[in-house]
Amino acid sequence: MEPPSYDETSRLPAAQATRQIDLSPPPDYNNSLFSPSTPPPAYGDAVQQDLFPVLTPPSVPVVIPPTQSSVVTVHPITQIGNRRGQTQTVAVVSQPQPIAINVQFLRDIPGYVRCTQCQHFVTSKVTYVPGSTAWCTCALLALMGLICGFCLIPLMVRSLQDVHHSCPRCENELHVYRR
C-alpha cells in the first residue's frame, strides 16, 4: 500500500494539540507529617476507661417466632457483678431440643434418631465397612495392572465404603447406607 498523496493529507483534519505536562515539584515531606497537640494519656488513665462495655439486654420480653416446632426461651438473670461491683442483667438463651430423624434418611454422618430396639433417642454410632463399590473399584484397578497393593487403596477410602449406623446403648444395627 502506498502512502497518501500531499493533496489527500491536506484535506484531513489537523492533529489535536498535545497536553501540557505539569512539572511542578512534589509536595514537601515535612508538611504531611502530623504531630498531636497533646501527649497521649498515662497508662493508669487509659486502663480505667471501659473500652469494651457490656451491652445490656432489652427490658421488654424477647419474642422469637418458632421454626419447625423449636422454641427459644430467654431466662433473665440479675445479680451478676463485674470487677467494679456493679450488677448487670444477663439473658441466658436455652437452645431447642434436637429433632429425631427417620433412620431411612441417615447417610454418611451420625444422626439423632430413636432406636428401634431400646426406644431411646441417641446419636447413631457410625462404622465404615468396605462394600460393593470399594470391592468393584479394587477389582477394576487390579484388572488395569495395579496389583502391587495399589488396587487395595479403594478399601481404605471412606467415600467408597458402606456406612453402618448402630445404637451406642444397645449396639442394635439401625441402618446401612450403601454406596
The structural domains of the chain, with segments of one domain joined by +, span 103-177
Which portions of the chain are predicted below pLDDT 50?
62, 68-70
pLDDT per residue over 42-59, tens digit each?
Answer: 777 766 655 566 666 555
Measure the CA–CA gap between 102 and 115, rounded to whole angstroms. Answer: 10
The Cα 156–Cα 15 span in angstroms is 75
Q: How much is the pLDDT for 36?
A: 67
Contact call for residues 57 and 76 (beta carbons, < 8 A): yes
Res 58: pLDDT: 56
Instruction: Give residue 98's region: left, alpha or beta (phi > 0; psi -120 to 50).
Output: beta
For residue 132, the model assigns a pLDDT of 93
pLDDT at 61: 55
The rounded distance, in Å, linking the Cα atoms of 94 and 114 is 23
pLDDT at 32: 60
Quick check: helix, strand or coil at residue 29? helix
pLDDT, position 160:
92
- What is the pTM for the complete model shown? 0.47
